[in-house]
Every structure is written in structure tokens, then in C-alpha cells.
Structure 1
Amino acid sequence: MSPELDYIVLYIDLEKYTMKISGRTFVVSGGASGLGRACVLDICKKGGYAAILDMNEELGGALVKELGAEARFFRCDVSDTESIAAAVKGLTAWTHEMGKPLGGIIPAAGVGRPGLILDKNLNPMSLDSMDFVLNINLRGTLDVVRQVLPLLASAPPCGPDSERGIVIMVASAAAFEGQMGQVTYAASKGAVASMTLPMARDLSRFGIRVVTIAPSMFDSAMTAVMSDKVKTGLKKAMEFPVRAGMPEEFSSLVVQAIENVMLNGVVIRLDGATRMPSKL
């Protein structure tokens, strides 16, 4: 067999083992804006369907209007278990109505609230501030995943590996080198990173993979409120490219994680070789 034919056979085999986005539904929390919105757009471009879980009804409604029947908005507060349950009930009915089985869960809702664990006046950080971040970034991530998993695990298996789908969580570079004022944020994202492998092990019997992406500074609602001084300081820690990441660069990696079945139980840094200093 010629080298050209060898290449063609290999290409066809790899296509067979690629997880297909087309015709499957993906749940994206925080999907009305930022990184989550970019994921929704890319999923729909690939022929998939997106269940958008978010609190912003205006942005969510506008996105559904843009995408049409391939997307559906469900108002959801990820820090509220009952709110998640109502959204899951709605998206379950929608997937059955459309005949598009679940293919993945992308809990992308997240917040940041900087604060020193102990300020200069010896006042410790308030529990309310800590709970706000942890309830959305950590508890909200776990709660969305656990409530949607029964629907994903009951989806029909696909391909030669009998795969049912994937969970793609969002950590942060702060999980590895959080800065001053990021104790709670780093704790929430570090926990997401550390639960990736055990979650993959738990779900392997169902043919479900787990991947976490840890981005550095990306253009989003969270970074939009940063001062120019902070943004300038962050750029000094960047190697290449010297700029904030674009949401489309994040969603491109999400698509790769969905399609490449060998990606499992791993945390992928998406940071352009940025390593954060102690302080700016």
C-alpha cells in the first residue's frame, strides 16, 4: 500500500473515533455571555444544540433569537439547587421534544470577588464574600453537573467506544498561582481542577469523559471590570501573545475536547505561557 493510501485509511479510522457534536445537545451554564456564549455559538455552528442556563434573560433571549431552533434559554441561578432543578426539568423536556440526546455539560458560570483574607486593619474576609464566590464557582459547578448527569448517562452510546458524552469544567490559572486577594477565587478554581480526575474515574463506567480548561486572562464580563492598571500589570506576566485571550479561542479548545475522545481526566492550561506573579 502506498504512503498516500496509508494516510487515507488512518484519516478514516480517526473520523470513526471522533465524538460528533452534530445532532446532540450540550448544556452550557453561564451560556448567555463571555466564554459560555462562545461555546454555545461554536456548538451550534457544528450542528449541535445548546441549552443555555443563565440568569440574564435579556442576553439569553437575544442569543436564542440569533441561533433559532438550535438553542433554548432556561433561566437558572447556579447557586440555587431548586433553580437548577427547574432548568434541568425544562431542558430534559426540550431534548425529548427535539429528539436530540444530550452530549455534554459545560458549567461555565463563574464570578470573581477580590479580597484579602486579612486586611491592613486586621479584619478577616467576610463569610458572605467567601460564600458568594464558592457557591457559584464550586458548588454551582458541582450542582449543575450532578443534576444533569442522569440525563447524560441515559443517552444512547455512540461510536466504537460507546461514548455518551463529556463534562467540560472551567478552572483558572489562579488555581495554580493565585495572586494577592484571590484566596477564595483560587480555592474555588483549584477545587474544580482537583476534582477532574476523580470525576473522570467515577463516570468512566458510563462512557462519560471529564476535561477541565484553566484559562488565564480572557475577555469576559469578569475581566471587563478590571482597571487599566491591573490589565497592564497582567500583560507584564504574559509571554506570547501579549494580550487577553478571546472567547473564541476558549470555545475552540472546548470543541477539540468534545471531539477528541482521548482527552479525559486532564486539566488543560490555556494561558499563552503566562505565569502569574505574587502581586502586580
Structure 2
Amino acid sequence: MQTANTTAIVTGGASGLGAATAAGLAAAGSRVVALDLAAACEAAPAVDGVEYVPTDVTSEDDVRAAVARAGDDPQRPLRIVVNCAGIGPSARIVGRRGAHDLGLFRKVVEINLVGSFTVLAIAAEAIAATDPDADGQRGVVVNTASIAAFDGQVGQAAYSASKGGIVGLTLPAARDLAQYGIRVVTIAPGIVETPMLATVSDEFRAGLAAGVPFPQRLARPEEYAKLVLAIVDHDYLNGETIRMDGALRMAPR
């Protein structure tokens, strides 16, 4: 599938993986509608070809409005959706203060899993209404899981459950949307150098990198963006979860 003269939605598009992906798609010729919370959109740097739209992915009304905006240019149909929005708080199931905060568990699942599904479903509805290309393709959705879906560590029960749901969603979503020419692929990144790691010490960051077999460093957001572009371009990738982790398998803690 071509990126030029298309519209792409990127959630979590104001920073980290989402910002790198939005910039990469814009550089490849897409009109990019980057969705993020209002404060994040206000703080995001201006990027040619990227329009920031304040959106809460847990709000159906917000998502419908954002998808309508992304689909308002018939010359550049909505073809690409990348779900990067997510949170990753840590809490043990039973800790010093008692049982895991159930509200926090629900919030993580609501944002990471339900939010991704909300964007996927509403965007797929809009993409399905567009004209297919010469090969019958209408679009591609890339979701973001994590290697925590497979190697969840101590304190990651909520995060791992939410990302495991993304992995489990991948194949049935691809099968559901095949009749419309829409592919669904998931990326499961390892440890990526994002703003969430900006507050930790160099020593701690070096310790994380040392656990990666090769390359022995943290992944870069731009590498995630490159993989998104490769998935968009590779028409036979569908219904699959791709680990991007340098062969890392996480220890229990």
C-alpha cells in the first residue's frame, strides 16, 4: 500500500513512538492526523504534514470526531491507522498497601486495549466506505502491544493484560476486516528510548540496555516508525504480531 496521497491517523502522536511515526508517515507523503490529549497536543512541536487533534481515545465521541476529520479529504483517503496511545503504571497484585488498585487496573485496560479497539473499529468503519485500490486494498491498522504481553514482569499485571489483549485481538480483527481489504498487524516493542525513560539515570538506562542481546542498546522511536512504514508497504503482512526487541526476553524483575 502506498503512503503518498493518503491520510493516516496516529494515536499518541504528540510524543514518543507516536510522534516518530507521525513524522515518518508525513515524510513519506501522508497527511497525518495525530491524536493525543489536549495538553500533549499543545506541547508538541510543529511538523510539516502533521495536524494535532486533541482526542481522548477512551471517548467514543472524541474518536468519531477525529476519524471524521481524518476522512474529510476525498483526494487523500484515510488508509492508515497506528495506535500508539497507552500508559504503563506499575503495581503489584498484593503490595505493601494491600490489593492492586482495581480502578487503576481498569484504567490501564481502558486506555491501552479498549482505546485501541475503539479507534480500530471506528476508523475501520470509515475506511471500509472508501474505494479500494487496484488490488482491492483499503487500509491497514497497526496496533502497539509490548513484549510484556509475553514476558510480563513483577508489577506489570495490568499492563501485560492490556497488551496481551492487543496480541489476542490481532488475528480475529484481521479476519473480520479482510472482506473490506483492511489488514491488521501488531508491533510488540521491547525497551524503547521514549520520554518515559527520560527521568531515569544513565546508569539505570545502561543496565536496561545491557540485557538486550543485540544490538545492546535501547530501541529508538524512529525504528518503530520504520517498521510501521515497512508494514504499510508490505501487502502480505496481516494478522501477525512482530516483536521489535533485539532478542530480549524479560526476566521476572
Give, in angstroms, the shift of residue 152 of structure 1. 0.9
Question: Higher Cα Rg: structure 1 or 2?
Answer: 1
Give, in angstroms, the shift of residue 226 of structure 1. 4.4
- Residues 227 and 129 of structure 1: is their aligned pair in 2 closer, same or farther, counting only changes over 3 Å? farther
Q: CA RMSD in A?
A: 1.6
Are the equivalent residues in 2 in contact too, given 1:234–1:276 (CA < 8 A)?
A: no
Give, in angstroms, the shift of residue 249 of structure 1. 0.6
Give, in angstroms, the shift of residue 136 of structure 1. 1.0
* Partner residue, 2:101: 126
Equivalent runs, 1:125-144 vs 2, <5 Å: 125-144=100-119
Structure 1: gaps spanning 5 or more residues: 1-18
Deviation per CA, 1:138-161, whole angstroms, max 9, x where unpaired? 1110011111111111121113x2
Q: More deviation in 140-149 or 81-90?
A: 81-90
Q: Which amino acid aligns with 2:159?
A: Y
Separation of aligned partners in 1, 2:168 and 2:189? 15
Give, in angstroms, the shift of residue 222 of structure 1. 2.6
Structure 2: gaps spanning 5 or more residues: none
Equivalent runs, 1:30-179 vs 2, <5 Å: 30-55=12-37, 56-60=40-44, 62-63=45-46, 66-67=47-48, 70-93=49-72, 95-96=73-74, 99-120=75-96, 123-159=98-134, 161-179=135-153
Q: 1:183 aligns with which of 134, 152, 157?
A: 157
Aligned residues: 251
Are the equivalent residues in 1 in contact too, given 2:7–2:71 (CA < 8 A)?
A: no
Q: TM-score, normalised by structure 1?
A: 0.85
Which consecutive segments of 4 or more residues in structure 1 shift more than 6 A? none
Give, in angstroms, the shift of residue 266 of structure 1. 0.4
Deviation per CA, 1:40-73, whole angstroms, max 9, x where unpaired? 111111111111111122234x33xx30xx3322
Percent identity over the alignment is: 37
SS in 2 for 1:26: strand
Q: 1:211 aligns with which of 178, 185, 198?
A: 185
Q: Which has the higher helix share?
A: 1
SS in 1 for 2:223: helix
SS in 2 for 1:138: helix
